Amino acid sequence: MKISKVKRQRLLRETIEATPFITDEKLAEKFNVSIQTIRLDRMELSIPELRVRIKSVAADQWKETVKALPLDEVIGEIIDLDLDRRAISILEIKEEHVFSRNKIARGHHLFAQANSLAVAVINDELALTAKSEIKFTRQVKAGERVVAKAYVEEVSTKGLTTVRVDSFVDNEKVFTGLFHMYRSNDSKGDIRHEDSN
């Protein structure tokens, strides 16, 4: 059923405010209109595109929080961060991330997203990857959006923090990694644990 432009734009604004990382494609499906209509609605409402919204949130919330590396060195855009507990980033797979002959993402981009997120979640000025165990569970293609979720699982007495990172495309797991991170400080009493399930 068609709704009026005024009502659609009001609902569009409410939807984006509630879920700021929703794509134009998903909005077009939700409102049963073309992607171009959604883009025009956003322009009229002065709502920036997804990439700009993500960057804005990251710049506002986590620029001063990430300690182990500059925010612009994180592969993907951080959308959630709780140091020494969890973090989430989004990576849009573009032409520069894929093999030209089959449009499948090169694995090192998925690894880099996960690894840099594992570094970013560490509450320390120095965090280095000591060892990683990784598994790719399905191919990722150009145009897909990879959501990586990092959870701090364990902090050992040897100065290592274990971070699990699972990456998804539309709730389907495409990558999983266990990163054993070296950290310089010994303030392990301050580290909080959270069940990753």
* Helical ranges in the chain per DSSP H: 5-18, 24-31, 35-45, 50-62, 107-120
* pLDDT tens for each residue of 93-122: 999 999 999 999 999 999 999 999 999 888
Torsion of CA 124, 130, 133, 138, to 10 degrees: 60
* pLDDT tens for each residue of 48-76: 777 666 666 555 554 545 554 565 677 88
pLDDT over threshold 50, residue 88: yes
Distance between start and end Cα atoms, the chain: 39
Mean pLDDT of the chain: 82
Matching CATH number, 64-190, of 3.40.1160.10, 3.40.1190.20, 3.10.129.10, 3.40.50.300: 3.10.129.10
* pLDDT tens for each residue of 159-181: 789 999 999 999 899 999 999 99
Domain parsing of the chain, residue ranges: 5-47, 64-190
pLDDT given for residue 51 in this prediction: 67
Fold of 5-47: Arc Repressor Mutant, subunit A (1.10.10)
